Amino acid sequence: MKVTIRVIMRDGMSKVAVYRGKGGQIIRRSALCTHIGCVVHWNGFEKCWDCPCHGSQFSPDGQVLNGPAVKPLASAD
C-alpha cells in the first residue's frame, strides 16, 4: 500500500513541496509562492498547497487554484 506524502523538504539551498498521491506518482515543485515568494504549506482540509502571506492556493501538482498568484509553482525536477 502506498501512502500519500505531502512535505516541504530542503534540496540544497531550495525548499521543495513534495506530493506523492495514492497512485505513487511523486510531484516536486518549488515551495515558494509565485506571488511574492513566501513558503507554502499543505492544507490537509482542502488538499492543496497554501501560501500563508496572501492566501494563494495551489493544487498538488502546483497549478494555481486561487490568487493573487497567477503562475503555477515552478518545477523542482
Give the domain ranges of the chain. 5-66
Active-site residue, selected from the candidate residues 15, 20, 28, 35: 35
Please indicate whether residue 54 is annotated as part of the active site: yes
Q: Which of 54, 55, 63, 74 is catalytic?
A: 54
Q: Read off the pLDDT band of 17 (50, 70, 90).
A: very high
Residue 41 among the catalytic residues: no
Parallel/antiparallel/unpaired status of strands 26-30 and 48-50 = unpaired
Give residue 2's pLDDT band: very low, low, confident or very high (50, 70, 90): low
Contact of 25 with 72, CB cutoff 8 Å:
no
Does the structural domain 5-66 have CATH classification 2.40.480.10? no
pLDDT band at 22 (very low <50, low <70, confident <90, very high): confident
Q: What is the mean pLDDT of residues 41-67?
A: 96
Predicted confidence band at 69 (pLDDT cuts at 50, 70, 90)? very high
Q: Cα angle vertex 36, ends 31, 27, to 5°?
A: 20
What's the pTM? 0.89
Query: Is the pLDDT score of 10 beyond 70?
Result: yes
